[in-house]
Chains A and B, each alone.
Chain A
Amino acid sequence: EVQLVESGGGLVQPGGSLRLSCSAPRFTVSTNYMSWVRQAPGEGLEWVSIIYSGGSTYYADSVKGRFTISRDNSKNTVYLQMNSLRAEDTAVYYCARTNWNALRGAFDIWGQGTMVTVSS
């Protein structure tokens, strides 16, 4: 069954912005730690950002100052606002639940991914 649904990807020019969304039909995002993980074409996995249940946020150095993670509890949705996009941000972006305590920080639920392409 689908547990995370991402949307918002697409083609954007360098320097542009995009906002990704991640909704969770089957659990409450505000009581969980939620992350974004990306995967460039043909490459491995790279953690991008996390938002704690308490609201604290953290970022990879590669996106710090350009990307912002947030959530809307009323919509049970997590967002990734991406500004000043670069070619190297081109990737599939996955939303993932980060099971911090019970599973010691493992990503136990993943979305299907949304493709972001930064190109002129």
Chain B
Amino acid sequence: EIVLTQSPATLSLSPGERATLSCRASQSISSYLAWYQQKPGQAPRLLIYDTSNRATGIPARFSGSGSGTDFTLTISSLEPEDFAVYYCQQRSNWPPLTFGGGTKVEIK
């Protein structure tokens, strides 16, 4: 099973700041990585698929990068609605499909 490790667990930032979230895989997953945003009481929302492609309707301030085992989600300038929990997910080597443990982006 591929384990995805997200860091940091919590990121405390102010609106307008840049957020950099990390996702590390226990083995190479090529580019089969997606990122999701989840707000309290809501279902997750797809942000990025295939490492760097924004899903429909996702603002350009969200970007993804990486390959192999190390991946990054960057939010270039945090908006108030971006404070949430973010998860990465892989489908390279499965079953199981796996998610990372999440990074909470909170207001500083």
Binding site for B on A (CB under 8 A): 35, 44-47, 50, 58-61, 94, 98-100, 103-108, 110-113
Contacts and interface: CB of A to CB of B under 8 A. Distances in A.
B101 interface: yes
B82 interface: no
Contacts, number: 71
Contacts of B91: 100, 104-106
B34 A35 contact: no
B43 A112 contact: yes
A61 B43 contact: no
B49 A103 contact: yes
B69 to A, nearest CB: 17
Interface of B: 31-32, 34, 36, 38, 43-46, 49-50, 53, 55, 87, 89-91, 94-102
Nearest to A48: B96
17 contacts: A44-B102, A45-B102, A47-B96, A50-B95, A59-B95, A60-B96, A61-B96, A94-B44, A104-B91, A105-B90, A105-B94, A106-B46, A106-B55, A108-B49, A110-B44, A110-B45, A111-B43
Contacts of B98: 47
Given A35-B97, A104-B91, 17 more contacts: A44-B102, A45-B102, A47-B96, A47-B98, A58-B94, A59-B95, A61-B96, A99-B49, A103-B34, A103-B46, A103-B53, A103-B55, A104-B34, A106-B34, A107-B34, A108-B46, A108-B55
A113 to B, nearest CB: 6
A13 B91 CA distance: 34
B46 to A, nearest CB: 5
Contacts of B89: 45, 106-107
Contacts of A99: 49
